[in-house]
Structure 1
Amino acid sequence: MPGLLVLMGSGETSPTMVEIHRAAARKLRAGARAVLLDTPYAFQENHADISARARRYFARSVGLEVEVAAAGITGADWVFSGPGSPTYALDRWAGSGVDGDLRARVRTRQGVTVLASAAACTAGLATVPVYEIYKVGAEPHWRDGLDLLEPLGLRAVLIPHFDNAEGGTHDTRYCYLGERRLSRMERELPPGTAVLGLDEHTALIIDLGDESVRVAGRGGLTVRLPGSATVLPTGTRTDVAGLRRLAEGGEAGPAAAAPPSAPAAEPAVTLEESIRACEEQFKAAVAKPDMVAAAQTVLDLEAEIVKWAADTEEDTGGVEQGRELVRLLIARLGELASTAALRSLVEPLLTLRATLRQEGRYELADALREAMLRGGVAVEDTPDGSRWTTAP
């Protein structure tokens, strides 16, 4: 079976990467054995839930039934590993022989191997210990990687989450290292080593048979050397030789910039983007006001959350953030519905009071205002007319 190496920057079990998974799965023979290596997140208390969600994702979205294992991938047609701790995975793989099995898959150019997020971080000659540096505060340093790219003549490290922007006020690019720490760590790499930076929701797809290379997804692949960086955007097609030349500081050649023969598909929207869009749509609907449109926005957001429910990338908190927004918008809808019902009662009373005032019947107008106040509605007379609010 022709070999394929797919490296993903993030989003490995999200709707954004479905088509990439499907394209890889189409290379498999009938009855292929598919294995999900759970090692990177096996230390987490919810590892069984993460595996179950990943299995559902591959079964429902990709059409691939997968088994979960910590080792035993020899002869597997398809191997996948994703989020968690790169160093935890490396330590366990070294003790079980998985590291050698993964290298053999690339060296013999057989089988489909898909590594994403933490697992993708292990693919180069050195690995970013992201948990230790970013979450524990260890001094920036490298760990030896699997060096899966060495059989392809690539002397490089692979950094996923390259365009991460979760930090807001602090720099979390480059798999949460930021520029300051990455620059320092680059000086510690062996001479001639390039950094291959994979953006989130982006894949580097290497056909191990014909050595063709493709960048797919939402972002790009950055080939970074001291003093220079070349970005291959999504849709870029080249070959291993062209990528190797870039990693060595040369020109990739004309193939690297060649666009795909067919128009590129519209990039899939991330859950974070959907959440922001729904918030804006809800505000616009309420401002009109259009309660039907506002309610539909909540339903649309709920449907989007269901689509993303299998996402195993928990650090962003996207699904839970979406659920919190749904609860908030539902509560807001309840408030608005109550206000709308109250308005249908109050507005006619205000019209009656305005008529009484125009006719000089101020005593009755004041009595009506007092009665409305006892009912929980405060009326204020202004130069622009009467305004009302719910009384505390």
Structure 2
Amino acid sequence: MRRTVAMVALTASIMFTAGCSTAGGSGTGGDTGPFSAVIEDAPTAIGVSDGDLWPSCWSDDDALYTANGDGAGFGNEFSDIVMNRVTGTPASDDLEGEGLALGDELGQVWSGEGFTRKPTGMLCTDGTIFLAVQDLARDFNAAPAATIAHSDDHGQTWKWDTAAPMFDDGVFTTIWFADYGQDAASAPDPEYAYAYGLDGNWRDSFSDVVPDPTELFLARVPVDSVQDAAAWQFYAGEPGDAEATWTGDIASKRPVLIDERRQHDLSVISQGGVTYLPKHDRYVYTSWTEFTFEFYESPTPWGPWEPFLTEDFGEYPWDAEQIGGYGTTIPSKFVSEDEKTMWVQSNVCPCAPAGTTSYWFGLREMTLEDSAK
């Protein structure tokens, strides 16, 4: 069963801000943006696998490379992190995968006892695959460090700087890359990779040991220097500026999106994905809370970002017919040529009191419809 969800009205008591401005200029709805959406109530295409998160990228060999946390992935051995290669499509119901590498082959824990590795983002470009890996507290409430590994042999072996993490002190430590299609072929600025980041944590920090993320940050880096932290430039302007402003000083970075709304008393900015739709020349950011999907669109990587969908699945317990999830992404490989149909990946952990789980590579269909401005 599908449900149709147009842009949700934002009441005066639920403020959405982009930099110093409010959505639509009033904070009460304003411009609805170019899209309305139809989305399935639950995953309908599932690859036989085990794990969560599944950030991905589409490589030059036409396979989707995707990393999972805390499971065996498409392999047979449990690990806190696994790299996988997936073929087929959800529309054809022929998804198949294999595990390629895991654990210490993909990264290391920088923060000591009480932390584990989690995959947060992937980039495929010029035949190379990059994987962003963060340290995450075992209670999921703080992410103090992150680094990036790369593979030149389609995921079989991986290399990274073993001396120190690229990012630490909880600053820009949840990283994912803008998805520009197969081998980044649709990138408008192919010299650079664009990466999004959160400070503090990957989602609402339930224990408040770090502040809940309410700001989304953006960086760019030359594609031949992705693993050189000194080469990264951070957005330092206002959201939606006509010309982007960049700084090499991470302390001077400024958010491209601020959203201080709370759904079910949870912050709405979380680790997700940003997928570029070249025919629309729009970017889609897929965020979430424990109980909702929160999707945004923008004409540029730096905004202005406008919400176009809030899907509330209600509080637990759920059932298999209506289930939300976390780590929401839209793999560009699964976007139709006309960009009207795409597939959203998300997960529900058996550790949550949700009443049901979705702890595998699972996709649900979403259709975008152009909406009159």
Q: Under a length normalisation based on structure 2, what TM-score does the superposition of the two structures give?
A: 0.32
Asked which structure has the greater CA Rg, the reply is 1
Q: Under a length normalisation based on structure 1, what TM-score does the superposition of the two structures give?
A: 0.31
Bigger strand share: 2
